[in-house]
Amino acid sequence: MTLTAENAAARATPESTAGTATVRPPLDPQALRADFPIFERLIHGKRLAYLDSASTSLKPRRVLDAMDGYNRRYTTNVHRGIYTTGEEATAAYEESRVKIARFINAPDPHEIVQVRNATEAINLVAYSWGRRNIGRADTIVLTELEHHANLVPWQLLVQEKDADLEFVPIHDDGRLNLQTYEVLLRTRPKLVAFTHVSNGLGTINPVREMVEMAHAAGALVLVDGAQAVPHLPVDVQAIDADFYVFSGHKVLGPTGSGALWARRELLDAMPPFLAGGEMIREVHLRRTTFNDVPWKFEAGTPDIAAAIGLGAALDYLADLGMDRLREHERELVGYALEVLPREVPGITIYGPASADDRGGVVTFNLPGVHPHDVATLLDRDAIAVRAGHHCTQPLHERLGEAATARASFNVYSDRDDIDRLAKGLRSVQRVFDRPTSESHAATTQASANDLD
């Protein structure tokens, strides 16, 4: 498959395709909600305050229409049918690859492997690159912030290879301790893998600096972009990592879609991950030769509708402008960090103190109330927050909490959602008979107590 006609477009930076220096007005979340059919329904008679976008985002009509169009008008497998609908399906599927490349400024769409989610992308690298390149006593450096998806695959790998894992600790405010990172790099790890933005605390890590330090120490770098691609302009060439992964369902796209970007020379050298149809060039009874990248890593029939839906989601976001989305969420996080401690006495908010250092995530606890009770009671007011360990149990061990509650944002979130959350949390406190008149001095914010 030749994609060269599209490569020039893929090389353009997301922002340069967005246009010139013209300053565009801030996002208008109330108006944008009209694009998301889920808001047409009421939950318990109220408008949904959806504050769980870090878990999965809502889907705009444009995404649903793109998937529906595929399912109704040209449902066909890809790279097979030499007839009209087959060619349309293949073109739409490959077009999504080009859109993904353009969105994260990958130099070449052939470096994009379409996968079902970030978890699959990380497993692909751990199995394929990892099993070939990690050996006995080698070290992989991770961080205390990682989602289980960027931890468990490496645990399995080091167990199998008798290799080691090391972890960059966090300061009490949720930022990584870069001094310790520097010390760990002196052990000459083979790989460093860390999240771009923490799903647990919202911390935006200094990815460019961390990649540079890792490369200087001779390590390759995998960046987990599951919470970055949906919320910030991401430029994989500027970040300069070796692997970058994300999930489509957090970026306004469908479940079952996502991407691995990796340098072409790495993908070429890596053995296949899953084997079967599509990933082959020639199969004989006792030997097989493999397809070119990226198809070598796309065994079996992909989730074609989801891939096409992801392409539509990225178009939608590119039209809105990722810089505007970042600014929108920075403003909302700043508002939440100001309003929640003022309106909800005793609340503990975890993570960096400044919205500048955070993605669209605010994680918190109410003293004496289990986060599951918080989430259940908020649901009565149609406010959806996540409660639990958010697939970051080691991070929660570090925080000394079994669970937390988390509010997270996207294009459709606004100040009214946060005001409703604050009001809802006061009602939760009333239910649990917690005093709401405690002095504000009792309000704790973990970020204020950085002891490191």
Ligand X SMILES: Cc1ncc(COP(=O)(O)O)c(C=O)c1O
Q: Which residues contact 431 (CB under 8 A, 6 or more apart)?
A: 377
Q: 161-220: which residues touch ligand X (CB under 6 A)?
A: 195, 199
Q: 282-311: which residues touch ligand X (CB under 6 A)?
A: none
In the complex, the smallest distance separating the C-beta of residue 144 from ligand X, rounded to whole angstroms, is 13
Phi-psi region of 304 (alpha: psi -120 to 50; beta: other; left: phi over 0): alpha
In the complex, the smallest distance separating the C-beta of residue 413 from ligand X, rounded to whole angstroms, is 17
Select the residue interacting with ligand X from 97, 102, 147, 328 (CB under 6 A).
147
Torsion of CA 326, 105, 281, 289, to 10 degrees: -90
Select the residue interacting with ligand X from 114, 128, 139, 247 (CB under 6 A).
247
The residue among 128 and 195 lying less far from ligand X, judged by its C-beta, is 195
Residue 302 has, within 13 A of its CA and on its CB side, a CA count of: 34
In the complex, the smallest distance separating the C-beta of residue 407 from ligand X, rounded to whole angstroms, is 15
In the complex, the smallest distance separating the C-beta of residue 117 from ligand X, rounded to whole angstroms, is 3
259 binds ligand X (CB under 6 A): no
Q: 215-234: which residues touch ligand X (CB under 6 A)?
A: 224, 226-227
Segment (H or E) for 140 = strand 139-143
Whose tokens are 């967005």? That residue is: 18
Please identify which of the residues 64, 266, 391, 422 carries the catalytic annotation.
Answer: 391
Q: 381-400: which residues touch ligand X (CB under 6 A)?
A: 391
What are 276's two structure tokens? 């079967």
Q: How far apart are CA 377 and CA 371, in angstroms?
A: 10
Stretch that binds ligand X, among 75-83, 98-106, 145-153, 320-328 (CB under 6 A): 145-153
What are 206's two structure tokens? 């200094």
In the complex, the smallest distance separating the C-beta of residue 154 from ligand X, rounded to whole angstroms, is 13
Q: How far apart are CA 166 and CA 164, in angstroms?
A: 7
Whose tokens are 């609340």? That residue is: 347
Stretch that binds ligand X, among 111-119, 206-214, 268-276, 344-352 (CB under 6 A): 111-119
Q: Which residues contact 280 (CB under 8 A, 6 or more apart)?
A: 288, 289, 290, 291
149 binds ligand X (CB under 6 A): yes
How does strand 404-408 pair with strand 361-365? Answer: antiparallel
The residue among 10 and 58 lying less far from ligand X, judged by its C-beta, is 58
In the complex, the smallest distance separating the C-beta of residue 380 from ligand X, rounded to whole angstroms, is 25
How does strand 164-168 pair with strand 444-445? Answer: unpaired
How does strand 112-115 pair with strand 386-388? Answer: unpaired
What are 244's two structure tokens? 């970058």
How does strand 404-408 pair with strand 112-115? Answer: unpaired
Stretch that binds ligand X, among 113-121, 334-342, 376-384, 416-424 (CB under 6 A): 113-121
283 is an active site residue: no
The residue among 149 and 366 lying less far from ligand X, judged by its C-beta, is 149
Reduced to 3 states, what is the DSSP secondary structure of residue 221? strand
The residue among 89 and 411 lying less far from ligand X, judged by its C-beta, is 411
90 binds ligand X (CB under 6 A): no
Q: 115-144: which residues touch ligand X (CB under 6 A)?
A: 117-119
In the complex, the smallest distance separating the C-beta of residue 128 from ligand X, rounded to whole angstroms, is 17
Rounded to the nearest angstrom, the gap between the alpha carbon of residue 381 and the centroid of all alpha carbons in its chain is 28
The residue among 124 and 325 lying less far from ligand X, judged by its C-beta, is 124
The residue among 251 and 428 lying less far from ligand X, judged by its C-beta, is 251
E strand map for 16-104: 49-50
Segment (H or E) for 431 = helix 415-431
Active-site residue numbers? 391
Q: Which residues bind ligand X (CB under 6 A)?
A: 117-119, 147, 149-150, 195, 199, 224, 226-227, 247, 249, 391
